[in-house]
Amino acid sequence: VYGATQAAITQLSATLRTELGARKVRVTNIEPGLTDTELGSHIDNAELSGELDGMFGFMESLRADDIADLIAYTASRPAHVNLRQVVVLPTRQA
């Protein structure tokens, strides 16, 4: 389900970009990798929670500030520049 949701968001972004580009509205799809947020604490499946904990133990994750900085950078580009898609991962995440 997660993969299907991500694919739908990518397609929605492409559609919005096509429909709104003529009005000079920029649409960017920012796709972060492993990011340390409170969402992990809401996983009620012990197996998935353990896997996530293992990932955080294995590599340094992105922080919320990293994503906020990327959003600020994206929004601060000149009006004629649209970053269509940004994939940001921790260095050790493949």
Query: Which DSSP category does 62 fall into?
Result: B
Distance CA 5, CA 66 (A): 23
Closest to 62 in 3D by CA, of 41, 34, 93 = 34
Is 2 noted as a catalytic residue in this protein? yes
CB 88 within 8 A of CB 63: no
List 2, 45, 72, 81, catalytic entry: 2
Residues belonging to the active site: 2
